[in-house]
Structures are given as C-alpha cells and as structure tokens.
Amino acid sequence: MFEEFVLTASTADLSEESAAREHADAVEFRMDLASDPLDQLASYDGELPLVVTNRASWEGGEAEGLGRYDALSDAIGRESVAAVDVELAALRGTHPEPAEASHATALRDAAREAGVAVVASVHDFESTPEPAALVDLLADAASEGDVGKLATTATAPADALAMIEATHEATAAGHRVATMCMGEPGRHTRAVTPLYGSRIGYAPVDPANATAPGQYPLATLRELIDGLREGGADA
C-alpha cells in the first residue's frame, strides 16, 4: 500500500464506506471517535481497505491511556485492515509516558508481521516550522514507519509554501511521506502536496464530520487532485 497516492475517507462509522467508494481508495477508521469500534471492524464487509487510527488524546484524538494499543492490535489482525497509524512521539519514546515506546514498537512489529503498513504520524496544532525542520521531521517519521505523516497548522501562506517545499525535498531524498497543513491558510495543500510526492490524503465522507481543521469534502478533494494531475500531464 502507498506505492502511489491513496485518498482515504475518514470516518468513525464504517457503514459510510459504501458512500465513499466512488471517490476514495481507502477508509481511515477513526477508532477513537467511534462507537463500538471493534464490533464495527468485526462486522465490516466493505470493499475499501482500512487504515486504522486510534489517536491519542495527547496528539489531538480522544483515546486515553495505553489501552488503545490493545484495540489496534486486534484491528491489525483483520483482513480488511491494510495500514495502522502510530504516533511518532510514541515510536521514538519522546512522549513523557515511558511505556508508550514499548507498546508502540511492539504494535509496529506485529503490524509488519501481519503485512500491515505503518503510518508514523506527527501533528502540530499550533504552527508550521521552517522547511528544514519539516524535512527532518518527515525523515524521522519515514524512518520509523512505512510512511511518515506530518500535519501542521498554517496561519499564513508562507506556512503552506514551507510544507510544499518540505514535501518535495523529503520525497526527492527518497522518503515516503504524507503531508498537509491544517487550517484555512493551508487548506489547498491537501490538494497540492500530492503533486510533490505526498502519498495519503484525508477527507470526511460527510463534511459535517470533519476529523481535522480545513478538510475538503471527499468528492471535492478527489476532483481537485485529479484535476491538478491531469493539468500537469497536459502541460
């Protein structure tokens, strides 16, 4: 997975999968936002592969404690699950809770044994660092997972440019990355960074249930990305 760009439909309700098929390549299942997530996984019979995310509260999600790893461990045993998202801070042991690292790396090892890709993710809800710092973060994340995901917050157009530049540089250096800026000034990066190498896009099936600031509706993002790609091919 992620050999090419993958547009994921983010949802906490797997019954929305059928509505996502027309535009999405996969579904990101937000287990931390879901009701009875393991039951939903057990009964899932959709066509799209799943990227499972059980986002920690300290990284902007709603999952509390180390029990979220148990749920993810169950999830990666499901045939429908193609990838799992794990926070870089946990994998690197930079989170204050020492047990995070052992749980995160054990999950990564189990995922790889099961043939499930690992997305090592970083979220900055306050700012966007300089391009060089972004490239370093992407390199760190990509070295810990099969894809390094970086989402920062843009407060000005320069932040969006920094993310685009970092995406290009990290990809040119051989790193497999997924990048985007949250917030209105960086919203367009969700459509543009795939042109510079970003491998994953995120959009809600239902715009009312956006899982991050600045997300486009699924159909809109698909149209934007495909249109930009076709325009580039014709140039």
Which residues have C-beta within 8 Å of that of residue 213, sequence separation ≥ 6? 153, 182, 183, 184
User: Would you say 190 is a known binding-site residue?
Assistant: yes
User: Would you say 5 is a known binding-site residue?
Assistant: no
Which residues have C-beta within 8 Å of that of residue 19, sequence separation ≥ 6? 205
Active site residue 123: yes
The answer to whether 54 and 71 are in contact (CB under 8 A) is yes
Euclidean distance between CA atoms 32 and 64, whole angstroms: 9
Q: Which of 95, 149, 168, 188 is an active site residue?
A: 149
Q: Which of 23, 95, 123, 168 is an active site residue?
A: 123
User: Would you say 40 is a known binding-site residue?
Assistant: no
Torsion of CA 203, 209, 211, 214, to 10 degrees: 60
Of 4, 79, 19, nearest to 49 (Cα)?
79
Residues forming beta bridges with residue 149, ordered by sequence position: 121, 178
User: Would you say 29 is a known binding-site residue?
Assistant: yes
Q: Using alpha carbons only, give the angle 47, 50, 52 rounded to the nearest 5 degrees.
A: 160
Active site residue 149: yes
Binding residue positions: 28-30, 55, 190, 211, 215
- Catalytic (active-site) positions: 123, 149
Binding residue positions for 3-dehydroquinate: 28-30, 55, 190, 211, 215
